[in-house]
Structure formats: structure tokens, C-alpha cells
Amino acid sequence: MLAKIIYWLPRAIFIIYAILLGVFTFDMKWGFNITNLIPILIHSLPAIIVIVTIIISWKKEALWAMIFAILGAIFTLFFQTYENIEIFFIISLPLFLGSILFYMNHLRSKMKWILIEKK
């Protein structure tokens, strides 16, 4: 049971995180029309990056952990979330937390494989 939680928790965190970042697209005050397509895409870029990363590395926990740790560092520096702790908790911390959980899942599956080989 704990193995399933460790497997699905980081994936759920990143899916919810991508949805949260996608909601930030709707903070534009000038409405949605064809002339605002570029600003909409620019506002959606962080969510698109997270979604593409999720799709590419769904089964590769070690790669996923490393990519999301790098994304966490990039988001922290680019969006300057280090200046405000609340913004850091919303924007950067889920990336670092999910990265740690993915690495824990990778280590758990690696240890399971080692235990199977020794039998």
C-alpha cells in the first residue's frame, strides 16, 4: 500500500501543480480573443513545460526527479520566488518536493530489484 502511495503521490502533485499553473493563464484582464493569443501562450508556458515534462518522463523516476529539481531551481531564479516565502511555497516547493518523492520511488524500485536478484 505504501509503495502505491509513493508511486502515485509525486505524479498527483505534478498534475495538480500543472493545473494550478494553468489557472494563472486566466489572470489576464483584457479577455480572450485572437489578438491575445501570444500573451495567452506566454502565460501558459510554465504549465506547458510541466505537462510536457510529465508526458516525456512518466516511467523514468530518476530522470524525472533530476528534471524537476532543475525546473525547481530555474523557477526559483527566473520567477524570483526566493524573495517571498509564500510564493516560494506555491511555485517552487512543489517541484522540489515532487522531485524528492520521485527519487525515493526510484530508490525503492531499485532496492526491490536488488532484493529480487539476490533470491
pLDDT in tens, the chain (119 residues): 777 888 888 888 888 988 988 887 777 666 667 777 787 888 888 888 888 888 877 778 888 889 889 989 998 999 899 999 999 998 899 989 989 988 888 888 887 655 555 55
Cell numbers 526527479 label which residue? 65
User: pLDDT at position 88, please?
Assistant: 93
User: pLDDT at position 114, please?
Assistant: 56
Q: What is the full DSSP assignment across 39-79? A: HHHHHHHHHHHHHHHHHHTSS-HHHHHHHHHHHHHHHHHHT
Question: Interior CA angle at 14 toward 105 and 87, to 5°?
Answer: 120
Residue range(s) defining the domain that contains residue 61 = 2-118
Domains: count for the chain: 1
User: pLDDT at position 30, please?
Assistant: 62
For residue 115, count other CB atoms closer than 10 A to its CB. 9
